[in-house]
Amino acid sequence: MHIHILGICGTFMGSLAQLAKSAGHTVSGCDANVYPPMSTQLEQAGITLIEGFDPRQLQPAPDLIVVGNALSRGNPCVEYMLDQQLAYISGPQWLGENLLRNKYVLAVSGTHGKTSTSSMLAKILDAAGFNPGFLIGGVPQDFGVSARLSDSDYFVVEADEYDSAFFDKRSKFVHYFSNTLIINNLEFDHADIFENLAAIQKQFHHVVRTVPSTGTVIYPAADANIAAVIEQGCWSQQQAFGSESSDWHYRLIAEDGSSFEVVYGDQTAKVNWQQTGLHNVLNGLLAVIAAHQVGVSLEQCCNGLSDFVGVKRRMEVIYQDHGITVYDDFAHHPTAIKTTIEGLRAKVGQDKIVAVIEPRSATMKLGIHKDSLSASVSLADQVYWYQNPAIDWDINAVARACLVPATATADIKQLLELVAQMATSDTHIVIMSNGGFEGFHGLLTERLGR
């Protein structure tokens, strides 16, 4: 079958393309901007890429068009597809019906930590010999690719609550036939498509309703927003964790989270790993609980987790020299920013932390979380906020409200100079953005290298 993908260079759609190719299909696709690293991955997989949306690429017609959720009415390819009555489907629906229906699916959902937890879970299962397939919204450094198709009965999928396509406004995760469903946490996000928290909770309840009675929903006992979802009805087994009465909880051995103990009833096992931060401990605990559901022993789980390397753009060290360390992190929500800096502070003690933050997500651009941003950086020593062209609210007000020294700028060159001047021995610079940040990462590491 010839499958043509509209919007192929996004993380999800690019990963889907590689899975479709691995399944034996002829795959091509297009996007507004075709650029590395995704374009490189796709070309190496033998996938034909077209830049732009000229409808002539649909002549002759492919057998099926997979439409990315970034595409909307008015797009030339979309209009041609509809006018010519060509066969089309959303990416999540194609994934569910063609690759996941006959698998045991371990789905990882929640506002924060999906990519990290999915990567940890895939690592544990792989280390235990399960050879799982996976589709993850990032690149686990343990595997080097964001997606893999295998002959295993098990598949790990990062289960996103974002909508499926312009013609299917259901969340992606309702298509995935989940057997084990993790809900990491639940907060308001994606303000471009969800009106309020209740609208997001409705979608989470929809996915809970898809889990079979023999399946399991795993979630933190203390999260009131998730509890409200479960109270709407859950017909599956439930595994809450973290409370004193729960079967599962953790004990920190190292304050920074680099060493901890997983407790399951009267069993215990230790994790000693490269990660830090309480948020990663919780992510790891969720991955252990999910892997245990399918028969991985507690000791095997913790051994696999101890060998976990990490995920690109999740506190990834991109420069280290002369006592200066630069990290690339994907945090783009006040809670994620806060937990990232807390984890780094626990790790580095009194060393200087410089946070460089670009509010870039759709929710951030709308200014939804702007009143919470200043409090999220209180453990940093210096903060720089970048006002990209898409932000039309006053980021200077956020800087003024910070309890630590903070500066806002709309000039990327000025930002580079300000950050470079702060780079002295024993300095940790964490760059937080869910986008390209106008090449700032490369500009800074090149400047420091000189």
CATH code of the domain in which 401 resides: 3.90.190.20
Residue 352 Cα to chain centre, angstroms: 27
**Can you list the alpha helix ranges (DSSP code H) found in 146-235?**
197-210, 224-231
295 and 160 share one domain = yes
Examine residue 391 and state whether it is found in any structural domain, yes or no. yes
| More confident of the two residues 365 and 260 | 260
Question: Does 341 share its domain with 407?
Answer: yes
CA distances from 332 to 11, 67, 257 (A): 17, 26, 22
* 311 in a structural domain: no
What percentage of the chain has pLDDT greater than the value 90?
56
In which domain, by residue range, is 74 found? Answer: 2-86
With beta carbons less than 8 A apart as the criterion, state whether 175 and 101 touch.
no
Is the pLDDT at 365 greater than 60, yes or no?
no
Burial of 295 (0-12, 13-18, 19+ CB in 10 A): exposed
Which band of pLDDT confidence, cut at 50, 70 and 90, is reported for residue 366? Answer: low
Average pLDDT, the chain: 89
CATH of the domain at 99: 3.40.1190.10
Output the pLDDT for position 363. Answer: 58
Same domain, residue pair 296 and 343: no
Q: Which residues contact 339 (CB under 8 A, 6 or more apart)?
A: 112, 277, 278, 279, 331
- Per DSSP, the residues of 299-357 read HHHHHHHHT---BTTSSEEEEEETTEEEEEE---SHHHHHHHHHHHHHHHTTSEEEEEE
Residues 107, 75, single domain; the answer is no
Answer yes or no: do 73 and 184 share one domain. Answer: no
Which of 36, 63, 86 terminates a domain? The answer is 86
What residues contact 108, with CB distance under 8 A and at least 6 apart? 114, 117, 118, 121, 156, 157, 158, 159, 182, 184, 286, 290
Claim to verify: residue 174 and residue 234 sit in the same structural domain: yes
**Angle at 161 (CA atoms; ends 293, 95), nearest 5 degrees:** 70
Domain boundary among 60, 86, 112: 86
Residue scoring higher pLDDT (153 or 434)? 153
Phi, psi of 163 (to 5 degrees): -70, 160
| Higher-confidence position of 139 and 60 | 60
| Domain assignment of residue 46, yes or no | yes
pLDDT of residue 191: 63
Residues 131 and 10 placed together within one structural domain of the fold: no
Backbone angles phi, psi at 100, to 5 degrees: -100, -20
How far, in whole angstroms, is CA 107 from its chain's centroid? 13
Flag whether 49 is in a domain: yes
Residue 409 lies in a domain: yes
In this structure, what DSSP letter does residue 256 have? T
Residue 289 φ then ψ, to 5° = -60, -45
Residue-wise pLDDT for 172-197, tens only, equals 999 999 999 999 988 877 666 778 88
Q: State whether the Cα torsion 310-152-26-96 is positive or negative.
A: negative
Kindly state the average pLDDT of the residues 406-410. Answer: 87
My answer on whether omega of the bond before 55 falls inside 30° of 0, hence cis, is no
Please check whether residue 426 lies inside any domain of the structure.
yes
Check pLDDT > 80 for residue 389.
no
Residue 362 predicted with pLDDT over 70: no
The reply to whether omega before 37 is within 30° of 0 (cis) is: yes
Instruction: Give yes or no for residue 23 having a pLDDT over 70.
Output: yes
Residue 96 · residue 66 · CB < 8 Å: no
Number of domains present in the structure of the chain: 3
Residue 400 lies in a domain: yes
What is the mean pLDDT of the segment spanning 197-224? 94
* Domain annotation covers residue 288: yes
- Co-location of 76 and 106 in the same domain: no
In this structure, the answer to whether residues 120 and 196 fall within a common structural domain is yes
Query: How far apart, in whole angstroms, are the C-alpha atoms of residue 118 and residue 331?
Result: 16
Q: How far from chain centre, in Å, is Cα 84?
A: 36
pLDDT score recorded for residue 195: 82
pLDDT at 370: 64
**Lowest-confidence region among 30-39, 115-124, 278-287:** 30-39
| Claim to verify: residue 139 and residue 177 sit in the same structural domain | yes
> Quick one: 11 exposed, middle or buried, by C-beta within 10 A (0-12, 13-18, 19+)?
middle
CA distance 85 to 31: 21
Comparing 275 with 74, the larger pLDDT belongs to 74
CATH number of the structural domain spanning residue 17? 3.40.50.720
Q: When comparing pLDDT for 213 and 435, which is higher?
A: 213
pTM of the model: 0.84
Domain C-terminal end among 86, 105, 135:
86
Q: Are residues 8 and 103 in the same domain?
A: no
Q: Is the pLDDT of residue 170 over 90?
A: yes
Where do we find the tokens 């000189």? 450
Going by pLDDT thresholds of 50, 70 and 90, the confidence category of residue 304 is very high
Is the same domain home to 77 and 44? yes
Average pLDDT of the segment spanning 340-354: 88
Could you tell me what percent of the chain has a pLDDT over 70? Answer: 95
- pLDDT tens readout for residues 82-109: 999 999 999 999 999 999 999 999 999 9
